[in-house]
Amino acid sequence: EAQVTQNPRYLITVTGKKLTVTCSQNMNHEYMSWYRQDPGLGLRQIYYSMNVEVTDKGDVPEGYKVSRKEKRNFPLILESPSPNQTSLYFCASSLWGEDTQYFGPGTRLTVL
């Protein structure tokens, strides 16, 4: 089954404790992105990747890191999480030149 998976689905952590949210897709997509969803603001792009070893900032990259060492995986790293990073996070992927994007199930992150 074609899908985007994220782990964990829920995470409660404390300020400053490094964490990683994993994202994996099995569709051989070139594009992968991370979005955060906040009330009233919709989803905003954090980082994106156009292929292995090619990443760039989206609209709200501060406080986040990403890497793309394999085509299927695109982890989101919070080196020192802060309460303002409490949010719902989505990973998405798509084929080069295609408009349809496939979203993961979301990760609810709470930073205390």
Interface residue list for other proteins (CB under 8 A): 31, 33, 35, 40-45, 48-50, 56, 58-59, 88, 90, 92, 94, 99-101, 103, 105-106, 108
Residue 31 Cβ vs other proteins, minimum distance, rounded to whole Å: 5
Q: Do the Cβ atoms of 18 and 78 come closer than 8 Å? A: yes
Distance CA 87, CA 39 (A): 9
Query: 58 or 63, CB closer to other proteins?
Result: 58
In angstroms, what is the C-alpha Rg of the chain? 13
Q: 97: which DSSP letter?
A: T
Residue 38 Cβ vs other proteins, minimum distance, rounded to whole Å: 9
Query: 76 or 92, CB closer to other proteins?
Result: 92
Residue 22 Cβ vs other proteins, minimum distance, rounded to whole Å: 17
- Continuous segment of H or E residues that includes residue 19: strand 19-25
